[in-house]
Amino acid sequence: MTIKKHHKIFVAGHKGLVGSSLIKNLKTRGYKNIITIDKKKIDLRNQKETINYLKKNKPKFVFIAAAKVGGIYANNVFRGEFIYDNLSIQNNLIHGSYLAGVKKIIFLGSSCIYPKYAKQPIKEDYLLSGFLEKTNEPYAIAKIAGIKLCEAYNDQYKTEFKCIMPCNIFGPGDNYHEQNSHFLPALIRKIHDIKLGKKKNLNLWGSGKVKREFLFVEDLSDACIYFMNKKTNSSLINIGTGKDYTIKEIAKIALNVLNVNCKIIFDNRKIDGTPRKVLDVSLAKDLGWKSKISLKNGILKTYNYYVNLQK
């Protein structure tokens, strides 16, 4: 079953980075029957409230972009919150959707579900084949549990719950907090401060040698809608560009795109995290989807968004 214009679509986490992009993408395609939950009214960690909402509203399709997220600092410091909140949110939404008669879900996870020293590029089959990166282990374990919950429901109840595992995402709607943000939004904030004359040098955590893959959020929302409508035998699908860069290379690309000339200083006392993480996206390509927006264009779009936020 594909999404028709009149179908009711529920987007959980509609104000976040991915959720807000999904809303925009769906509306651009002409879907108007979209429902959302304001977290001030319903706490998705509350099972009764969440399930009652889904049973009452009976959406036909559900996108689960709601999660507690943060960068390496937040993941490592708020470990209890990251595992408890994410387990609660996803369990309530997945089980609640099933009870409300929903047959098709897109559950969003992260490439951090894969082992720290997984063979590169990372295939979907590598899940649970080794130890996780310690700094984001609680978040990763929660997401792995969500994948297994979806798979179990597909097996037992014949649902079509798909799990989309993206690489690092960035774009408009991201969190630019000084400590709790991910690498790329933090990088953009720091470069903007240099442009304003608040700082002279670009100070970054770690060695700058670890490698990361980045995907612009509009590509991810496009993939979510594509795979909601696509019949597949696979419930776990990697989404990315298939191309990674060192942190130092990404910093240089961003400085070049934003016309900033400064010294990059790395703090080797800070943790690096996983040494390399690039996804094997051959399954997504075989199923007819691939990314379209380059890292350079994505950085420029994100920076322009951030500048407008400051006005």
Residue 139 annotated to the active site: yes
Domains observed in the chain? 9-309 (3.40.50.720)
* Closest to 24 measured CA to CA, from 166, 16, 203: 16
Q: Mind listing the pLDDT tens digit for each residue in 121-175?
A: 999 999 999 999 998 899 999 999 999 999 999 999 999 999 999 999 999 988 8
Q: Mind listing the pLDDT tens digit for each residue in 201-242?
A: 999 989 999 999 999 999 999 999 999 999 999 999 999 999
Q: Report the alpha-carbon distance of residue 178 to residue 250 in Å, rounded.
A: 19
Contact 144, 273 (CB under 8 A): no
* Active-site residue identified among 139, 153, 176, 303: 139
* Closest to 22 measured CA to CA, from 165, 226, 279: 226
